[in-house]
Amino acid sequence: MPRPLWTGAISFGLVTIPVKVVSATQDHSIHFRQVHLEDLGRVRTRKVCELDGEALSQDEIGKGYELSKEQTVPITDEELDRIPLPTAKAIEIVAFVDADSVDPIRISDSYYLAIDGQVAAKPYTLLRRALERSDKVAVAKFAWHNRERLGLLRVREGAIVLHSMRWPDEIRSPESLAPRQVELDDDEIDRAVQLTDTMALDSIAGFRDAYRDALEELIAAKSEGRGIPEPAEGEEPEEGKVVDLMAALNASVEAAKESRGEGGGGEATVHEMRPRKKAASKKAASSGKADTGRKAGASGKTTGRKAGAGKTTAAKRTTGAKRTARKRSAS
């Protein structure tokens, strides 16, 4: 078991459960040291007083609250310890709520709660069973590093988990960040929903940190004197390029199907957006001209009719008829 970070008790009603708090997560990030490039000697950070320039030991460093640039109030650890804090050694459950009612943005760090002695086994199991049967989570208050915090207790694989939570006033409002109202076609929304269905998974347990894997490979190559691995070639998106939203959704759906082995459906490059009338007319006109040119070389009999179909004025139709008549007389 990892080293306990805190010891105390869970309390709800008149029930007390002695517990130890252990970290529920592990940091697998690769950490670097600052080194002198010339000789790879380690560079350490010194804590220096900005007034006299002297390096200080930890015993000479305390806490202070800056009221203004000219005035700082010193606060000692003893003074902080004397502040009345009812939850100093207790995780006090204050309410039970539905899990869906808690906004995930408020959840911070996570910890496992382990029993502290066999005497805690029965009340610990009682709380766990109550949470499981009620399908609820417990909201609690507890103290951590001289701060009262809000917590959330839930069950995970037979253990009670404590999630540290942010207070309501610590969450910024996203109101100013929301985009202005835009128009979306129902077909686009339906296609986006289809994409979410195609990309749906039962579990995210298979995801890995690809950057960490590549970083480990780089460190291993340099330590063994091998060549540095070449980065995988990827297609860089063009900046500022306007994307056809429906075509992009269609392509994304087909790519997701192929990645899951479902095969393509042939709609990746053909979308169902209704083109503007002007664009459709131009496209039809250019298509008509091209067809006319090709069929004129193959058969002189239908050239006049095809050319006339691609024109919009009576004068142009007359011109087309004259050209056809000249070709017939020449033949």
Output 184-192 pairs: Cβ under 8 A, ≥24 positions apart.
Answer: 185/246, 185/273, 187/246, 187/272, 187/273, 188/245, 188/246, 188/249, 191/246, 191/249, 191/250, 191/253, 192/249
- Please say if the pLDDT value at position 285 is more than 60: no
286: alpha, beta or left, given left = phi > 0 and alpha = psi -120 to 50? alpha
Residue 157 confidence (pLDDT): 93
Q: 165 φ, ψ to 5°?
A: -120, 155
Q: What is the pLDDT of residues 106-124, one digit of tens each?
A: 998 999 999 999 999 999 9
281 band by pLDDT with thresholds 50, 70 and 90? very low
pTM value is 0.61
Q: What is the DSSP letter of 102?
A: S
Report the run of H or E that residue 96 belongs to, with start and end: strand 90-98
What share of the chain in percent tops pLDDT 70? Answer: 74
CB 253 within 8 A of CB 195: yes
- Please say if the pLDDT value at position 264 is more than 70: no
**Least-confidence region, from 195-199, 237-241, 323-327:** 323-327
Q: How far apart are the first and last CA of the chain?
A: 99
Which one-letter amino acid corresponds to residue 60?
A: E
- Please say if the pLDDT value at position 231 is more than 80: no
Q: What is the pLDDT of residues 147-180, one digit of tens each?
A: 889 999 999 999 999 999 999 999 988 888 878 8
